[in-house]
């Protein structure tokens, strides 16, 4: 797939990626853990995720004639087994789909919802906001799961296989087991204390009362049976059936060890909440950047609007010719501005008047871009602008700090032989979610409602992210698909990482499109994340470099973050092959696979 004129943004990067890394054949799915490789090139379709078993599950479905949507659901279900602290049927997410036949992009908002009885005081006690740690490991934090509805909606709209068929690889992994790696063990260890609060969680994830051993086989027969039940009954088992009843019972009476002393506050979820839930088909956000069309998810996630606004702010700066210092400076400042606007304007559009179109207008971006100076740094928290009434370089208004979001989630990217593409980010919020396992069902429940503001971020400013009945908490999830001027795929990508998702996707896109890095290298590049805070977070590769010193000379202030995000992506090459790319190191390295590395 070529691109006309001077728009050859990624062709050099493509050649470099193919030459330097080469085509890696995907392992055949077996009971043994497939090898992880960060990049693969070939035909017939591609899958990239953080986990080799999960990527292999998607490849298996593609090899048997399934399309990208079928493979995405299969990969997601497998991640629910092998990455249970990041995703699963107890959570939610956002699904972005490119249809090759019509050359159009469609999205599903599968975000969890607050109970219908919730109000703005959901996380307050005695008139004061709860401590975050007290809210997380409780029934209060659990929203109505959206992942099962997302899977069924995607399959109904665009899939070619039924739910039972695409769940089979994941069911097999849950039954036969997967090999424990360092990441799984370390994530279990970081949650060990709170996992022990809940006997069902401890029984599942601390076998024989111990941390799982690296190299051992971890099985989840309860989850295998749950997948079998979903295959037989459909997702109605959750939203209208016995499985849903079990979720409600668990949320409202968290099965806590009485000897732990933990106050696991009960939630307010009901069967009515489950029955009322629906995954929302909605239009994507769209931003034009360097002559390309960038599509992502619209609110309730802030991902599409915030990445899109930052790209628009950067549109008139030639990042391809900028020095590394100036490139990072402009990227950081654009992120700062976009986050200032996100905090003021973005929430669930069913409850809030979100000016999505105005936030994504080039006119508004230009009014904000003039705040950026080559030799100075904006102070944070920066006040938001007014996208409906843009005023050039306006610094008036009242700032609100960015609220905390859990940093664990997972992302997968899939393409098929027909040219369809899926970019899908799913989550149970922070690592381990609420820490509460549904007894006998094999999966953790989300703590997604803690993405709401517990109290207004700034009492003087309207906060669009306070809880409400049936409301979706604001997210930063940013699954993205980039098309050329003929509406054919260029690249698709996304990342986990809470609020850092937005900056990871923005930095990876600009690294690939502007700096001409091969996709796998744009993903691997050391990251910076500025979210309208006094300090910008840097990974060690930047924190320990001369670039940090040069940026500090301009006025930037930094703090160290050991690891930011874990992106995956797929790229359509000019000769028709797919390139799948994942992390080289983060989260233990990702897994990129293609159906066939040969023609």
Q: Which position has the token pair 């193919």?
A: 18
**DSSP states of 135-166:** HHSSGGGPPBP-HHHHHHHHHHHH-SS-HHHH
> What pLDDT is attached to residue 14?
34
**DSSP states of 155-212:** HHHH-SS-HHHHHHHHHHHHHH-EE--HHHHHHHHHTHHHHTTSHHHHHHHSGGGSPP
| Among 409, 504, 508, 510, the one annotated catalytic | 409
- For the chain, residues with pLDDT lower than 70 are 1-33, 401, 404-407
Q: How far is CA 525 from CA 237, 366, 478, 528, in A?
A: 43, 28, 18, 10
The DSSP bridge partners found for residue 40 are 580
Residue 404 and residue 581: Cα distance in Å, rounded? Answer: 29
Residue 239 and residue 527: Cα distance in Å, rounded? Answer: 40
Whether 14 is in a domain gets the answer no
Whether 368 is in a domain gets the answer yes
- Name residues whose C-beta falls within 8 Å of residue 257's C-beta, 6 or more positions apart in sequence: 196, 197, 198, 199, 202
Whether 359 is in a domain gets the answer yes
Strand order in the sheet with 558-560: 528-529, 536-538, 558-560
Retrieve residue 531's tokens: 């979210």
Could you tell me if 519 and 17 are in contact, meaning their C-beta atoms sit under 8 angstroms apart?
Answer: yes
Retrieve residue 339's tokens: 């986050």
> What pLDDT is attached to residue 32?
63
Tens of pLDDT, residues 563-584 = 999 999 999 999 999 999 999 9
Q: Torsion-angle region of residue 397: left (phi > 0), alpha (psi -120 to 50) or beta?
A: left
Phi first, then psi: what are they for 402, rounded to 5°? -75, 130
> What pLDDT is attached to residue 27?
39
Phi first, then psi: what are they for 512, rounded to 5°? -80, -50
Residue 504 and residue 307: Cα distance in Å, rounded? Answer: 10
Please, is 449 exposed, middle or buried when counting C-beta atoms within 10 Å of its C-beta (0-12, 13-18, 19+)?
buried
The pTM is what?
0.93
Q: Where are the beta strands (DSSP E) in 530-577?
A: 536-538, 558-560, 568-572
Q: How far is CA 73 from CA 5, 88, 352, in A?
A: 37, 11, 31
Secondary structure letter of residue 81 according to DSSP: H
Q: Which position has the token pair 């998702």?
A: 501
Q: Which domain holds residue 291?
A: 282-400+457-477+500-516+528-562
User: Is the peptide bond between 381 and the residue preceding it cis, with omega within 30 degrees of 0?
Assistant: yes
> What pLDDT is attached to residue 395?
74
Whether 268 is in a domain gets the answer no
Q: Specify whether 165 is catalytic.
A: no
> What pLDDT is attached to residue 407?
63
Q: What is the CATH number of the domain that holds 324?
A: 1.10.246.130
Could you tell me if 75 and 47 are in contact, meaning their C-beta atoms sit under 8 angstroms apart?
Answer: yes
Q: Where are the beta strands (DSSP E) in 37-164?
A: 39-49, 92-99, 104-110, 124-125, 128-129
Phi first, then psi: what are they for 276, rounded to 5°? -80, -10
Whether 374 is in a domain gets the answer yes
Whether 60 is in a domain gets the answer no
User: By three-state DSSP, how is residue 217 classified?
Assistant: strand
Residue 248 and residue 503: Cα distance in Å, rounded? Answer: 35
> What pLDDT is attached to residue 314?
98
User: By three-state DSSP, how is residue 248 classified?
Assistant: helix
> What pLDDT is attached to residue 394?
79
Could you tell me if 433 and 90 are in contact, meaning their C-beta atoms sit under 8 angstroms apart?
Answer: yes
Considering its fold, how many domains does the chain have in total? Answer: 1
> What pLDDT is attached to residue 6?
31
Tens of pLDDT, residues 470-525 = 999 999 999 999 999 999 999 999 999 999 999 999 999 999 999 999 999 999 99
> What pLDDT is attached to residue 11?
29
Q: Which position has the token pair 């799948």?
A: 580
Q: Look at strands 489-494 and 528-529 and give their pairing.
A: unpaired
Whether 386 is in a domain gets the answer yes
Tens of pLDDT, residues 344-362 = 999 999 999 999 999 999 9
Whether 297 is in a domain gets the answer yes
> What pLDDT is attached to residue 9?
31
Tally of CA atoms within 13 A in the half-sphere of 278 that contains its CB: 4
């Amino acid at each position: 797939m070529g691109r006309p004129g001077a728009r050859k943004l990624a062709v050099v990067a493509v050649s470099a990626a193919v030459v330097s890394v080469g085509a890696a054949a995907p392992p055949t799915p077996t009971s043994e853990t497939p090898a992880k490789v960060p990049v693969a090139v070939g035909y017939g379709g591609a899958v990239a995720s953080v986990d080799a078993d999960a990527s292999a599950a998607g490849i298996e479905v593609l090899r048997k004639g399934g399309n990208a949507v079928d493979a995405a659901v299969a990969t997601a279900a497998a991640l629910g087994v092998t990455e249970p602290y990041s995703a699963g049927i107890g959570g939610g997410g956002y699904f972005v789909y490119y249809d090759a036949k019509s050359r159009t992009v469609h999205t599903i908002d599968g975000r969890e919802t607050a109970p219908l009885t919730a109000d703005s005081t959901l996380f307050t006690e005695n008139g004061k906001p709860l401590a975050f740690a007290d809210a997380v490991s409780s029934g209060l934090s659990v929203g109505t799961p959206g992942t099962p509805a997302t899977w069924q909606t995607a399959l109904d709209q665009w899939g070619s296989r039924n739910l039972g068929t695409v769940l089979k690889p994941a069911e097999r992994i849950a039954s036969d087991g997967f090999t424990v790696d360092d990441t799984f063990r370390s994530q279990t260890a970081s949650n060990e204390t709170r996992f022990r609060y809940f006997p069902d969680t401890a029984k599942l994830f601390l076998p024989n009362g111990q941390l799982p051993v690296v190299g051992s086989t971890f099985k989840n027969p309860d989850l295998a049976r749950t997948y079998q039940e979903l295959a037989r009954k459909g997702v109605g088992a959750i939203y209208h059936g016995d499985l849903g009843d079990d979720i409600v019972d668990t949320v409202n009476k968290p099965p806590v060890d009485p000897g732990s002393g933990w106050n696991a506050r009960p939630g307010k979820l009901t069967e009515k909440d489950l029955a009322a839930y629906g995954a929302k088909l909605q239009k994507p956000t769209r931003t034009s950047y360097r002559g390309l069309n960038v599509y992502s998810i619209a609110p309730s996630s802030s991902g599409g609007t915030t990445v899109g606004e930052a790209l628009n702010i950067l549109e008139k700066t030639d990042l391809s010719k900028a020095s590394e210092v100036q490139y990072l400076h402009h990227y950081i400042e654009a992120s700062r501005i976009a986050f200032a606007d996100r905090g003021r304007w973005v929430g669930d559009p069913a409850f809030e008047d979100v000016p999505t179109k105005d936030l994504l207008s080039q006119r508004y971006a230009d009014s904000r871009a003039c705040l950026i100076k080559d030799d100075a740094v904006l102070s944070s928290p920066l006040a938001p602008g007014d996208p409906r009434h843009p005023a050039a370089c306006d610094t008036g208004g009242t700032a609100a700090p960015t609220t905390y979001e859990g940093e664990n989630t997972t992302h997968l990217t899939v393409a098929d032989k027909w040219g369809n593409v899926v970019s899908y980010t799913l989550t149970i919020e922070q690592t381990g979610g609420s820490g509460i396992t549904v007894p006998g069902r094999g999966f953790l429940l989300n703590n997604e409602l803690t993405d709401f503001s517990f109290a207004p971020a700034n009492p003087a400013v309207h906060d669009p992210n306070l809880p409400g009945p049936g409301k979706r908490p604001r997210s930063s999830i940013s699954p993205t698909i980039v098309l050329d001027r003929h509406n054919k795929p260029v690249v698709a990508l996304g990342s986990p990482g809470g609020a850092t998702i937005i900056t990871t996707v923005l930095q990876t896109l600009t690294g690939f499109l502007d700096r001409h890095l091969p996709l796998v290298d744009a993903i691997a590049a050391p990251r910076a994340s500025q979210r309208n805070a006094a300090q910008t977070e840097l990974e060690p590769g930047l924190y320990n470099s001369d670039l940090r010193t040069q940026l500090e000379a301009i006025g930037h202030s930094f703090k160290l973050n050991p690891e930011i995000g874990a992106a995956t992506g797929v790229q359509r090459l000019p000769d028709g092959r797919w390139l799948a790319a994942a992390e080289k190191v983060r989260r233990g390295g990702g897994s990129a696979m293609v159906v066939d590395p040969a023609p």
